[in-house]
Amino acid sequence: MGFGAWRMFVKIEPPLALPVIIGGVRIASASVIGIATIAAWINAGGLGGILFEGLYQNSVPKMVWGTLLGSLLALSTNTFLLRLEKTTMRRARGELRV
15-74 pLDDT, tens digit each: 899 999 999 999 999 999 999 999 888 888 778 888 898 989 999 999 999 999 999 999
Does the predicted TM-score (pTM) go above 0.85? Answer: no
Q: Is the pLDDT of residue 1 over 80?
A: no
Q: What pLDDT, in 10s, does the model give residues 29-38?
A: 999 999 999 9
| Secondary structure (3-state) at 50 | helix
Q: How far is CA 75 from CA 1, 46, 54, 81, in A?
A: 42, 17, 22, 10
CB proximity list for 77: less than 8 A, separation 6 or greater = 26, 29, 30, 33
Q: Are 85 and 23 in contact (CB under 8 A)?
A: yes
pLDDT, mean of residues 83-88: 95
